[in-house]
Structure 1
């Protein structure tokens, strides 16, 4: 939750721990004793239980994750629980996991429809923790962040020394005519200066993959290109626009078809002739209208 960060532990000028225990977290523990600041009902430190929850999610230990979530929720630290769980889905789970939406929904139910420390709220906490623990665990985002940050420092230090960096970003200098030439279409200043218009975008920048377009999407793409009264597309252009990228070389091109490239145009014409001879031309509107 948004206010969770405001309640994290801080240290005073003398090194002592400063805490802000919420009213919901006060009262007695399971032993009938007045709870200390940041103590759970079971007599544990909420910081330790919160750390335990994250490690349990990371290790896919469902029972421990469920208990830690339940302990935080019943002890009045639901704000801490939901703040941590939302962090875990971006720090410890595989990108694209639907668990992020699942956790968000359980939090909404526990905090907006019901009381987070009551029975229904505790069930939501357990469900969310179990969902996170059952999801694919990975530190990929954190590892990528640490790696890219380290490379940024290496590059900066190398530039200061006037040397090539020992490690570089995966895109290198990111210049036209390089590996990532397709990104320099009319949407970029460099692409506009090179007069890379709609044809370049359709045949380079708009390609998808490696699964490629499905039959219906490919049909729509071809028809839209054929019906474009401002740009003329050859059969080879139509094929290239919907050809999936190579999973081993996703930035490679099936052919080099840049506007104004005579050699590429010649190669394309040769392919068109071959297709015409085989009777498989793809340049007719009627071929895609059914």
Structure 2
């Protein structure tokens, strides 16, 4: 974002409306030869109304209205307001992961750093950015999530004060060992470290990916890296499970045992001597109890 400087510092009026001193580039005459009032665009509109219209048009995918609103703000000396509004759209209304966010940022950079925002090329950047935003997938998912999670937080707090269970809870619930998200409590957490959930647990359970699974190349690399590990001996079943995609209908459940590896009885630890007692690494009969790598419950870093 360009630096608006102290002359563009926003304040709030007594009626709660946002007020900003009109910058020099926004002064002068409107299209009708009349001296522009404060916060008036060249077309005779309130910049607040045009700015709001821009975001609503983008949200509703009305390309023409969005393009005009962007052009009107840019040519009237309110390009900073335009880019502020489009940036707000990126975080408030744009589907997560959309590359349009980068496109809008690039147009802003060109319009404000390379050219003058209200000149011809700056206005073209404004129109391009507005069109890109209007054509993108709009969604209120982030804003809705924020509102929902905030409401649940209040409900949980009120329920605790009443000594009751909340009617609504966070998706993670209590996040306890043995619960639905038990696999998240690996050696990076205190609970996981206490349970000796080291490299073996992480590689075979914690590092698994979504329903699409690893690509063929990535799965091959992972198998090879695990097979060549000098400290942990993985069985064939563990190698298969490590690269298997999670169940799309139940992405959090992990087996208690993988070919004899009981993660609840120390099998998830960082054990380099977990074979069948003779130093072999076939891992088919892992009966040795591994040492606790974190007897004090400190966290373990194994690139997770």
Q: Same fold (TM over 0.5)?
A: yes
Map of 1:80 onto structure 2: 81
| RMSD of aligned alpha carbons | 2.3
Could you tell me how far 1:149 is from its partner in structure 2? Answer: 0.2
* CA–CA distance in structure 2, aligned partners of residues 217 and 171 of structure 1: 30
In 1, the alpha carbon distance for the partners of 2:263 and 2:141 equals 42
Structure 1 position 99, deviation (Å): 0.6
CA shift at 1:89, angstroms? 1.1
CA 1:144/1:43 → structure 2, altered by over 3 Å: closer, same or farther? Answer: same
Q: Per-residue deviation at 1:18?
A: 4.5
Q: Which residue of 1 is the match for residue 251 of structure 2?
A: 250
Which structure has more helix as a fraction of its residues? 1
TM-score with structure 1 setting the length:
0.86
- Equivalences for residues 219-234 of structure 1 within 5 A: 219-234=220-235
SS class of match (1:95): coil
Q: Which residue of 1 aligns with 2:131?
A: 130
1:10 aligns with 2:12: yes
CA contact (8 A) 1:73 1:117 kept: yes
**Greater relative contact order structure (CA < 8 Å, 6+ sep):** 2
Shift of 1:253: 2.4
TM-score under structure 2 length normalisation: 0.82
**Aligned residues of 1:182 and 1:205 also touching (Cα < 8 A):** yes
Q: Kindly tell me: are residues 65 and 4 of structure 1, through their superposed partners in 2, closer, same or farther at Cα, counting changes over 3 Å?
A: farther
Partner secondary structure for residue 38 of structure 1: coil
1:163 aligns with 2:164: yes
Matches within 5 A, 1:20-31: 20-31=21-32
CA contact (8 A) 1:116 1:122 kept: yes
Per the TM alignment, residue 189 of structure 1 is displaced from its structure 2 partner at its CA by 1.1
Work out the CA distance in 1 between the residues paired with 2:204 and 2:16. 62
Distance 2:4 2:241 in 1: 51
Q: In the aligned structure 2, how far is the partner of 1:157 from the partner of 1:207?
A: 37
Pairing 1:241–2:233 present? no
| CA distance, structure 2, for counterparts of residue 127 and residue 3 of structure 1 | 22
3-state SS in 1 of match to 2:117: coil
Question: Structure 1 residues 16, 232: CA separation in 2 closer, same or farther (over 3 Å shift)?
Answer: closer
Structure 2 match to 1:97:
98
Cα distance, 1:83 vs structure 2: 0.7
Query: Which residue is 1:185 aligned to?
Result: 186
Distance 1:16 1:233, change over 3 A: closer
For the structure 1 residues 25 and 245, does the alpha-carbon distance in structure 2 shift closer, same or farther, using more than 3 Å as the test?
same
State the match for 1:273 in structure 2: none
| CA distance in 2 between partners of 1:70 and 1:123 (Å) | 8
Q: In structure 2, what is the equivalent of residue 212 of structure 1?
A: 213
Q: What SS does the corresponding residue of 1:30 show, helix, strand or coil?
A: coil
Change (3 A) 1:16 1:230: closer
Residue 269 (structure 1) aligns with: none
Q: Which runs of 5+ in 2 are unaligned?
A: 269-281, 285-304
Within 5 Å, which residues of 2 pair with 1:12-51?
12=14, 18-51=19-52
CA distance in 2, matches of 1:198, 1:17: 54
The Cα shift of 1:206 comes to: 0.3
Query: Which residue in the other structure is 1:141 paired with?
Result: 142
Structure-2 change in CA distance of 1:78 and 1:251 (3 Å): same
**How many residues align structurally?**
266
Equivalent position of 2:298 in the other structure: none
Assess if the C-alpha contact under 8 Å between 1:52 and 1:68 holds in 2. yes
Q: How far 1:7 sits from its partner (Å)? A: 3.7
